[in-house]
Amino acid sequence: MGRIQSSTLKELLHRILKTQKDEIGCETCFESLDRFVELELDGKDSEQALPLVKRHLEMCTGCGEEYQALLAALESWQAGDSAH
């Protein structure tokens, strides 16, 4: 078995230390992701409305990538809609 790289170990430790008792998992985050993005696109405070989703997105690379992709797709769609 190989050694864990120092940067990987630091990232894991950082995530462990930032874990709180009221965390949500990926499935719960994914279920709320569309609402979170819609709030952002409407100019509302998505972090205040869904703080656990925001926190999960900061901690989870996979969900963060899903969020970025959904946000980009909807922004592109809105830009195309407003051009017509």
Backbone phi and psi for residue 49, each to the nearest 5 degrees, phi listed first: -70, -40
Average pLDDT across the chain, whole number: 87
**Of 16 and 74, more confident:** 74
Q: What is the pLDDT of residue 23?
A: 83
Instruction: Let me know if 63 is exposed, middle or buried by CB neighbors in 10 A (0-12, 13-18, 19+).
Output: buried
Q: What is the pLDDT of residue 72?
A: 96
